[in-house]
């Protein structure tokens, strides 16, 4: 079949790489794509917000499956419009995408279904919110209700910080996303991401991952979209994964079905592994970026077949298999990111990087101009590797980074430190690999 992929980041290059390897895929188109997805198929310059244009394209190219990478088109109802036009699409409807589109929606769903999560309260009034902060004290977590491109969460270590965040959000600093604010109990523990497919009724566990959100070594510096990741996450043992399925994922799928808005697509649960067990921090309604870049190289199963089983509500009789190897990705970003940074610096050495054993370089923010590859964003490349241990995968990824010729770029030098330290303790990360 012909397949259309929506998106343009490193996540989409990883998806395009896996989709184009499927025997079910005749032709792959990516809207708008990047120079990496162009290696896997054709990029198409369409406006993702113009649903009618996307539908026309699907009809012209007899597209059999549309895969939506990022959250914004899901929350905007692209899957609803494609489905209404008779075109199969992987991803939740607008109603089910509220799991990511509204933090208050997810907190209410957790309360209703008894899903473990941080205690919370919702506010549309600043004075009431400040009174709640005064009552609860710090540390405390302030979240804008809506989509805020990763800027909507403030983990406040003092009441002053919490009040500053409330003032910023209620003054419209995040636009409509901050019109309602959720205030949460501060959770402590180790964070991990867990992924599952849901066909509306059945949920199928995928694999776990951990990422590094801070810009600099030692998990210091400002928050970013993610500077690196690895899979599996050693903290998520098979027993904990089963607990996540039983107490978080399956109740979510059942609650959305009961509401008449079944969830079809990939569920990405951001978890805190607390002393009292796993708790849900947040849901995302798509693959993580950069977590997707470490899941795809580990997936043995045909991704297109798995996505079709999800859309066709046949997950009950489906299984997803994984390579035992650990995958790790190092994000290379333009110096200055996540603040302001220049565009247009030239990148060389990618062929040499990919010649390192078991290394793949996914493009995130790059641009091809003639024969030159230029940086065209904050996060630019995802240098991804496989290895028998996190230490081996990490060595390969950094060997590849070392031969990339891009003086204007930087990366963290310690991706995977927590897992490498665990390996040093004799605990193999392979014991928590997916099915």
Which CB, 66 or 280, lies closer to ligand AMP? 280
Taking every pair of C-alpha atoms in the chain, what is the biggest distance, in angstroms? Answer: 61
Write the DSSP string, 262-314. --EEEEEEEEEEETTEEEEEEEESS--TTHHHHHGGGB-S-HHHHHHHHHTT-
Which CB, 185 or 354, lies closer to ligand AMP? 185
Q: How far is the CB of 99 from ligand AMP (least distance, A)?
A: 12
Which CB, 29 or 283, lies closer to ligand AMP? 283
Q: How far is the CB of 159 from ligand AMP (least distance, A)?
A: 16
Q: Strands (DSSP E) along 364-427, which ranges? A: 366-369, 372-375, 379-387, 409-410
Q: How far is the CB of 249 from ligand AMP (least distance, A)?
A: 17
User: CB neighbours (10 Å) of residue 189?
Assistant: 16
Q: How far is the CB of 282 from ligand AMP (least distance, A)?
A: 4
Residues in contact with ligand AMP by the rule CB under 6 A: 118, 141, 150, 153, 155, 184-187, 191, 213, 270, 281-282
Q: How far is the CB of 62 from ligand AMP (least distance, A)?
A: 38
Which CB, 43 or 193, lies closer to ligand AMP? 193
Which CB, 161 or 185, lies closer to ligand AMP? 185
Between CA 106 and CA 275, with CA 150 as vertex, the angle to 5 degrees is: 60
User: CB neighbours (10 Å) of residue 426?
Assistant: 6
Q: How far is the CB of 219 from ligand AMP (least distance, A)?
A: 10
Question: Which of 140, 155, 147 minimizes the C-alpha distance to 177?
Answer: 147
User: CB neighbours (10 Å) of residue 401?
Assistant: 23
Gyration radius from the chain CA atoms: 21
Which CB, 155 or 168, lies closer to ligand AMP? 155
Residue recorded with tokens 């003092």: 158
């Amino acid at each position: 079949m012909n397949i259309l992929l929506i998106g343009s980041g490193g996540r989409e290059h990883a998806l395009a790489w896996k989709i184009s390897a499927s025997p079910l895929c005749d032709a792959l188109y990516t809207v708008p794509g990047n120079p990496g997805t162009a290696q896997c198929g054709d990029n198409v310059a369409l406006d993702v917000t113009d649903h009618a244009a996307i539908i026309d394209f699907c009809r012209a190219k007899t597209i059999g499956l549309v895969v939506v990478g990022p959250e914004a088109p899901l929350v905007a109802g692209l899957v609803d419009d494609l489905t209404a036009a008779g075109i199969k699409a992987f991803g939740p409807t607008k109603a089910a995408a509220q799991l990511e589109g509204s933090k208050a929606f997810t907190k209410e769903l957790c309360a209703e279904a008894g899903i473990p999560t941080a205690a919370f309260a919702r506010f549309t009034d600043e004075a009431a919110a400040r009174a709640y902060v005064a009552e609860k004290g710090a540390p405390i977590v302030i979240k804008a209700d809506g989509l805020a491109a990763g800027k909507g969460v403030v983990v406040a270590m003092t009441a002053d910080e919490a009040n500053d965040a409330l003032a910023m959000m209620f003054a419209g600093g995040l636009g409509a996303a901050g019109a309602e604010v959720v205030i949460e109990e501060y959770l402590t523990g180790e964070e991990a991401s867990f992924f599952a497919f849901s066909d509306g009724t059945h949920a199928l566990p995928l694999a776990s991952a951990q990422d590094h959100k801070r810009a600099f070594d030692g998990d210091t510096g400002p928050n970013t979209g993610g500077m690196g990741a690895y899979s599996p996450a050693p903290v998520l043992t098979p027993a904990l994964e089963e607990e996540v399925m039983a107490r978080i994922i399956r109740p979510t799928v059942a609650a959305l079905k009961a509401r008449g808005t079944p969830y079809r697509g990939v569920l990405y649960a951001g978890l805190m592994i607390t002393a009292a067990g796993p708790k849900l921090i947040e849901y995302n309604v798509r693959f993580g970026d950069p977590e997707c870049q470490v899941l795809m190289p580990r997936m043995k199963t045909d991704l297109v077949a798995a996505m079709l089983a999800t859309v066709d509500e046949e997950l009950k009789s489906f299984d997803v298999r994984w390579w035992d190897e650990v995958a790790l990705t190092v994000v290379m970003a333009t110096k200055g990111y996540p603040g302001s940074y220049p565009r247009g610096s030239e990148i060389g050495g990618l062929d040499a990087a990919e010649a390192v054993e078991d290394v793949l370089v996914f493009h995130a923010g790059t641009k091809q101009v003639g024969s030159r590859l230029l940086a065209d964003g904050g996060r630019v490349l995802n240098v991804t590797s496989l290895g028998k241990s996190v230490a081996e995968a990490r060595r390969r990824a950094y060997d590849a980074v070392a031969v990339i010729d891009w003086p204007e770029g930087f990366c963290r030098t310690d991706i995977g430190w927590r897992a490498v330290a665990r390996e040093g303790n004799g605990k193999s990360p392979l014991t928590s690999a997916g099915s």
